[in-house]
């Protein structure tokens, strides 16, 4: 519990003022984790110090302890540190992600096999969407997002599905966080029109704003409460050699059915 101290106001009255605690070592540990999330190839302690504007001495012992308790791992080849899978394991056990992935995984495996396309499951995570599960195309060719990838909540297919079926208060909060993260305001007129279209359709399907030749298709997944908990998305990769056995419309139908079954597993029963 934080301590309070009294401070005189201009009228001479005293009011309690909230103070905050400082935990420098803990703050540095989280700074390190956040930094390394952008360095999948790893970083030396000297690299971390330079990027964070701190001295090597400030970070060295913290990095060593984080390695000892399993949150970082050091390459025996080049001494670079990376974030270990212990973070992901902790996140799965401490958040609803474990239940979601348990419900989604068998359906996603079946979907990838039936469509011959990869698929991924996205949940809202602050200013971004987060890929918490994925299944790759079992064939020779495919396009997929990596596990843990951050998704643009404003412009991506998955992000707009998540926003379209969220409460107005939640949308407002996510948009504010996304605008702060991107460093520029969001065009709300454009976004509201896009979300209206997605709600009317019940899903989103359009050309990828990032990858040529990919059509993103995304359906919402709901929990028992009726609240949207994720978006199941197929980045449909169109082949040009005529070997495509499952066309886009068929993939759309299979994806819709898979999302509905995951929602049912989570206890959601849509109104008749």
The DSSP string of 122-188 is EEEETTEEEEEEEE--SSS----PPTT-EEETTTSHHHHHHHHTS-HHHHHHHHHHHHHHHTS---H
For residue 224, the enclosing domain spans 95-265
Domain membership flag for residue 7: no
Q: Specify whether 176 is located in the same domain as 57.
A: no
- Residue 93 is predicted with a pLDDT of 65
**CATH code assigned at 251:** 3.30.450.40
pTM of the predicted model as reported, rounded to 2 decimal places: 0.68
**How many structural domains is the chain composed of?**
2
pLDDT tens, residue by residue, 98-108: 778 889 999 99
pLDDT tens, residue by residue, 207-234: 988 787 889 999 999 988 899 999 999 9
- Residue 94 is predicted with a pLDDT of 64
Q: Specify whether 159 is located in the same domain as 36.
A: no
CA angle 237, 243, 245 (to 5 degrees): 75
- Residue 141 is predicted with a pLDDT of 66
The band of 249, judged by pLDDT with boundaries at 50, 70 and 90, is: very high
CB 122 within 8 A of CB 158: yes
Rounded CA-CA distance 251/238 in Å is: 12
Domain membership flag for residue 10: no
Domain membership flag for residue 1: no
Rounded CA-CA distance 243/249 in Å is: 16
The band of 245, judged by pLDDT with boundaries at 50, 70 and 90, is: confident
Q: Specify whether 28 is located in the same domain as 131.
A: no
The band of 33, judged by pLDDT with boundaries at 50, 70 and 90, is: very high
Q: Is residue 10 predicted with pLDDT exceeding 90?
A: no
Q: What is the dihedral of CA 200, 201, 206, 209, to 10 degrees?
A: 40
- Residue 21 is predicted with a pLDDT of 81
- Residue 204 is predicted with a pLDDT of 97
- Residue 272 is predicted with a pLDDT of 58
Q: Encoding tokens for residue 33?
A: 């984790």
Rounded CA-CA distance 119/26 in Å is: 36
Pairing of strands 214-222, 228-237: antiparallel
Domain membership flag for residue 138: yes
- Residue 172 is predicted with a pLDDT of 94
Rounded CA-CA distance 111/144 in Å is: 14
Q: Specify whether 68 is located in the same domain as 108.
A: no
Q: Specify whether 34 is located in the same domain as 161.
A: no
- Residue 225 is predicted with a pLDDT of 83
Q: Specify whether 121 is located in the same domain as 222.
A: yes
Q: What is the dihedral of CA 233, 238, 243, 246, to 10 degrees?
A: 30
Q: Measured in Å, how far apart are the chain's first and last C-alpha atoms?
A: 48
Percent of the chain surpassing pLDDT 90 = 62
Q: Residue 34's CB: how many other CB atoms inside 10 A? A: 11
């Amino acid at each position: 519990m934080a301590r309070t101290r009294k401070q005189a106001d201009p009228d001479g009255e005293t009011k309690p003022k909230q103070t905050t605690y400082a935990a420098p070592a803990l703050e540095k540990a989280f700074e390190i984790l956040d930094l390394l999330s952008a360095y999948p190839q790893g970083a030396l302690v000297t690299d971390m110090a330079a990027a964070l504007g701190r001295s090597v001495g400030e970070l060295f012992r913290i990095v060593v302890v984080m390695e000892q308790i399993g949150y970082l791992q050091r390459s025996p080849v080049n001494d670079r540190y990376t974030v270990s899978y212990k973070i992901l394991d902790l996140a799965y056990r401490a958040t609803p992600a474990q239940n979601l992935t348990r419900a989604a995984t068998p359906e996603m495996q079946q979907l990838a096999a039936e469509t011959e396309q990869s698929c991924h499951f996205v949940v809202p995570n602050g200013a971004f969407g987060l890929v918490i599960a994925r299944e790759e195309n079992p064939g020779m060719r495919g396009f997929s997002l990596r596990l843990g990838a951050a998704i643009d909540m404003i412009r991506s297919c998955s992000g707009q599905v998540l926003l379209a079926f969220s409460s107005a208060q939640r949308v407002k909060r996510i948009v504010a966080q996304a605008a702060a993260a991107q460093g520029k305001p969001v065009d709300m007129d454009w976004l509201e029109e896009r979300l209206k279209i997605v709600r009317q359709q019940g899903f989103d399907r359009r050309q990828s704003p990032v990858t040529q030749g990919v059509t993103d298709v995304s359906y919402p997944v709901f929990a028992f409460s009726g609240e949207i908990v994720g978006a199941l998305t197929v980045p449909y990769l169109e082949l040009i050699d005529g070997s495509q056995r499952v066309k886009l419309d068929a993939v759309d139908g299979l994806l819709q059915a898979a999302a509905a079954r995951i929602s049912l597993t989570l206890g959601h029963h849509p109104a008749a």
